[in-house]
Amino acid sequence: MSLARNTALSLVAAAIALPLAACGRDEADLSNGKALFTEECGSCHILGRAGTQGRTGPDLDAAFRAALADGMNRETVEGIVNRQILHPNSRMPAEIVTGDDARDVAAYVGFAAARSGEDQGALAQAGLAGARTGDQIFTAAGCGSCHTLAKANANATVGPSLDDLAQAAQGQGGSPEEFVSQSILDPDAEVAEGFQAGVMPAFEGRLSEEQLNALVEYLLEGG
């Protein structure tokens, strides 16, 4: 068993029983959590989804990947991270974030750990560059980890449902294809009501024109 896996699992028992710190808001703000993690934590920790490469502290993707695969849920990851923030070891600064900010960072790490966008099954192991059809690209890009799409057997709720995307794209200005393309390449340009900016990674430069067109067609066609 790896040291990173041991580190994560050794904290589980304590974290399960530890409620998150009392906060003023009803829900964590993932956008704020990502921004704070990148600014305050990224120089010490690797977290692929946040694009950070610090090596002073544990690699958070590696620390939780095996435990998540073994059935640990992301709420437990959030609890572990929250405990570490509240009760840091000697190498991690005390009160690096506090209150609602600490909750937001813990929630973001719970959401993002081991979820870099290329970890969604066998197709993903070959990398996004090898995906050609719309369904392959949807899987390799990790879209199912955040969105509901019935034909892809995806039911996540971090982002808006894509089941009625063709209808939702009507009346947004320009063609549905243009609206969906922009949403993929620059997701913060227009954020769906009820959802947060800064959560979905931008795919500008990560998809070829052919891949983008295939994914847009796949998302707009019926189930």
pLDDT single digits (tens) 95-106 = 999 999 999 999
Query: Which of the two residues, 82 and 126, has the higher pLDDT score?
Result: 82
> Where does the pLDDT of residue 223 fall: very low under 50, low under 70, confident under 90, or very high at 90 and above?
low
Arithmetic mean of pLDDT, 59-83: 92
Of 15 and 137, the structure prediction assigns the larger pLDDT to 137
- The pLDDT tens digits of the residues spanning 148-163 come to 999 988 887 888 999 9
- The predicted structure's pLDDT at residue 18: 40
Please determine, for residue 219, whether its predicted confidence score (pLDDT) is greater than 70: yes
> Higher-confidence residue: 38 or 85?
85
> What are the boundaries of each domain within the chain?
3-112, 122-220
Contacts for 34 with CB less than 8 Å, ≥ 6 apart:
50, 108, 112, 198, 199
Residue 14 has pLDDT above 70, yes or no: no
What does the pLDDT read at residue 130?
73
Region 122-220: CATH code? 1.10.760.10
Are residues 111 and 158 in contact, defined by beta-carbon separation less than 8 angstroms? yes
Q: pLDDT band for position 11 (50/70/90)?
A: very low
Region 170-199 average pLDDT: 89
- Structure confidence at residue 126 (pLDDT): 42
What does the pLDDT average to over 28-35?
Answer: 84
Question: What local confidence, expressed as pLDDT, does residue 51 receive?
Answer: 73
Which is the CATH superfamily of the domain at 3-112?
A: Cytochrome c-like domain (1.10.760.10)
pLDDT higher than 50, residue 7: no
Question: What are the Cα distances from residue 173, in Å, to 74, 154, 178, 184?
Answer: 37, 28, 9, 16
pLDDT (mean) for 186-210 = 89
**Better-predicted residue by pLDDT, 186 or 130:** 186
Cα separation, 173 vs 177, in Å, equals: 11
Indicate the helix (H) or strand (E) that contains 32: helix 30-36
Cβ atoms of 45 and 52 within 8 Å: the answer is yes
Q: Please name every residue paired with 149 in a beta bridge, in sequence order, or none if there are none.
A: 154
Task: Return the pLDDT at 29.
Answer: 86
In contact, 76 and 15? CB cutoff 8 Å: yes
CB 135 within 8 A of CB 211: no
41, pLDDT greater than 80 = yes
Q: Which residues pair with 71 in a beta bridge?
A: none
Same topology for domains 3-112 and 122-220, yes or no?
Answer: yes
- Both tokens of 114, joined, read 């081991």
